[in-house]
Structure 1
Amino acid sequence: MNDPLYDILLDVYGSEAEIARVFKVERVTHWRNRVPEHAAFKCHFSPKVPYTYDVSVYGNDWKGLGLDLNNTVNLTTNFEVTTNDQELHQNAA
């Protein structure tokens, strides 16, 4: 039986090759049994993947870190960094 998250990833990305490309790994065939925790945690925050991270699946107790897994913040990583930013140059001068 496949890991449920693996099946979700196949539905979202369509193939193992695309999943591997997205997560920057060579292969994900071995994820059928268990998707790595780091990937599951990333999926929790992805608006594309309908998945909620469950610490009990990975045998962790994250209460000490104070994680609020019910709050899925919109993470934006598609900002552009440029060396032509005049404000940045003025502040550095």
Structure 2
Amino acid sequence: MNFGMALKATRKAVKLTQEEIAPLVNISRSTISKLERDEMPLKSDDLLRWLQVVQSRLQSANTTPIEVGVAIVNGVDVVALTQMLTQFVGGFIKFM
């Protein structure tokens, strides 16, 4: 799997530019670019911060950054899944 493409996809899914996500994950914009091109490895603590940013942007109270990371690695469209679950829960609450 091309991990850099997954990072880029998650960044774009939450509508952040490289310049916007860089200070949020405490990584320089040029390093973000290298990570997304798979030119350097991502440290585990940087990955956790990245996932926390993505998770906070998704505003999914029941999803941890680790769960978001597992979904990304397994090719799940996290944004679509979150939207679907939100609609399902909202519909269920209206039903009750």
TM-score by length of 1: 0.40
Max radius of gyration: which structure? 1
TM-score by length of 2: 0.39
